[in-house]
Chain A
C-alpha cells in the first residue's frame, strides 16, 4: 500500500480504517462515516432503504461516487480486486459455485477453516460435504468462515445470522467479537435490535430515499 510519507498521522487517524464522505449512487446515499480498528458499525433502517446497496458501494460492486479510503489511501488508487480482498462483502444469500464446500477454499486455508468449524457449531467433516446438502444456516456460517479467511481489514456483513437460531447466533457473535478484539473493523446490517445492542460501537441509520 502506498502511504504518503509526508502525511502527519494523528493518533485518531492511525486507528481509522475506513472513511467515507458522501458515498452515493443513483439509488442510494449520500452516506458519510468513519470506522476505526476493532469497531463495529451497525447499519439499520427499513427494508428497501438501501442498506445492502451501501455495503455493495463500499465494496465497489456497484457504480458509485464520493470519497472513500482505507488506512488513508483513496480507493481509486487501489486495484479493485485488492480493495475487495481488504474490504470483503458477504451478501445475505452467499453464493456457492463448486460442488464441495472445500473447493471454495485455497489449500492453504483449509487448516484455518477446520479450526473455525467447531467455534460455529459445525461438524468437523463439513468441509468434505457437498454444498447442496447443507442447510441455509450451515451455508451462512460456512460463508462467514470463507469471508474471514480472506483476512480482510474490513468485513461487510449483510444479515449474517438471518437464518440462525439463538445458540448459533451466539456462536457467530462470539467469533465476530474475537475478530473485533483482534482489530477487524466490521460493518453489520441487521434487523435484530438485540444483536445491534450486543455488537454496535457506532450506528448509522438509513432512511428510505425520497423519490425525486
Chain B
C-alpha cells in the first residue's frame, strides 16, 4: 500500500473548515479572522516551500546540501530558544548559550540514533537525517526555551532571596539551586507528558504518519519508541545545559547576582 495522493481540490475542500473558523470569528466579534486566515496562508506557503526544498535535497543525495539544511534548522531553533523567554541576556550571550546547547544535544542524539539503531546506508541519508533532526529540534527547542524562561523569571522575581542567601555566604550555585531545579523540571515536563500520553491520549505524529504511509503498526510503534527515547534524552540535556550556562551568565566570579545583564 502506498500513500493516497492528495489533489488541489482535496485541499480546497479541507480549507473550507478554516473559512468556517473565520466566519465564526466575524459573527462572534472575536477579531481572530485575520490572524486565522493569515496563519493558514503562511502555513500553506511554508510547507509547500519546505516540500519543494526537501524534494530537491533528497533527490540530490548530496551530503553537503544535507549538512547545509541541518545547520540552517539548528540556527533557526537556536534563535527561537534565545528569543522566546521573557527575559534574556544582553548582547549575544543568550544566542551563544542556545546555539551551543541546541546544536550539541540535537547532533549528539540524532547521530546516536543514526549510527546505532536506524543505520540507513549511507548513514547520512537525508531521508532519515533531516526529518529526525526536525523532530529532535522541535522538542529540544521547547525544553531549552521553557527552562530558560522559568529560570530567568524565577531569578528576577526572587532577586532579594538570592541576594539574601549570597549575603549569608552561599555560593552562586547554592543560592540559585532552587530556581535551577525548578527550571530544569519545567523543561522536562512536556517530554514526560508526551511519553505518558503516547498511544492512549494521542497517537504520536511519526507513528500516525507511518501508519498512513502503510507501515505495519508494530513497526511504526517501535520507531516511535526509539524517537521518544531520543527526544527525552535530547530535551533533558538541553534544558539542564542551558539552565547551567544561564546560571553562570547571570552571576560573576565574585558570586554576585548580575540582573543588570538581563533585559526584558
A interface residues with partner B (beta carbon < 8 Å): 59-63, 80-82, 84-85, 88-91, 93-97, 146-147, 150
Contact = CB atoms under 8 A, between A and B. Distances in A.
B119 interface: no
Contacts of A146: 168
B79 interface: no
Nearest to B254: A80
Contacts of B20: none
Interface of B: 158, 160-161, 163-171, 178, 252-258
Contacts, number: 56
A79 B168 CA distance: 14
A167 to B, nearest CB: 27
A62 B166 CA distance: 11
B252 to A, nearest CB: 8
Contacts of B161: 95-97
A95 B164 contact: yes
Nearest 3 pairs of A and B residues by beta carbon: A95-B164, A85-B169, A80-B255
Contacts of B166: 61, 81, 84
B178 to A, nearest CB: 8
A60 B164 contact: no
Contacts of B168: 84-85, 88, 146-147, 150
Among B166, B168, B178, B253, residue most surrounded by chain A Cβ atoms (within 10 Å): B168
Given A81-B169, A81-B170, A97 B255 contact: no
Given A84-B166, A91-B167, A63 B256 contact: yes
17 contacts: A60-B256, A80-B255, A81-B170, A81-B171, A81-B255, A84-B167, A84-B168, A85-B168, A88-B168, A89-B167, A91-B164, A95-B161, A95-B164, A95-B165, A96-B164, A97-B161, A146-B168
A21 to B, nearest CB: 18
B169 A91 contact: no
Contact of B256 (A62, A94, A96, A97): A62
A95 B163 contact: yes
Among A61, A93, A146, residue most surrounded by chain B Cβ atoms (within 10 Å): A61
The secondary-structure label for the interface of chain A is: loop
A82 B256 CA distance: 13
A96 B160 CA distance: 9
Contacts of B255: 80-81, 84
Nearest to B257: A61
A158 to B, nearest CB: 11
B256 A61 contact: yes
A1 B88 CA distance: 39
Contact of B160 (A59, A82, A93): A93
Nearest to B163: A61
Contacts of A82: 169
A84 B175 CA distance: 13
B160 to A, nearest CB: 5
A97 B169 contact: no
B157 to A, nearest CB: 12
Nearest to B178: A97
A85 B165 CA distance: 11
B256 A90 contact: no
A198 to B, nearest CB: 26
Contacts of A150: 168-169
Nearest to A76: B254
A95 B160 contact: yes
A94 B160 CA distance: 8
A94 B171 contact: no
Contacts of B258: 63
Nearest to A147: B168
A97 B170 CA distance: 13
Nearest to A62: B256
Contacts of B253: 80
A85 B158 CA distance: 21
Contacts of B256: 60-63, 80
A88 B170 CA distance: 11
Among A59, A81, A82, A150, residue most surrounded by chain B Cβ atoms (within 10 Å): A81
B169 A61 contact: no
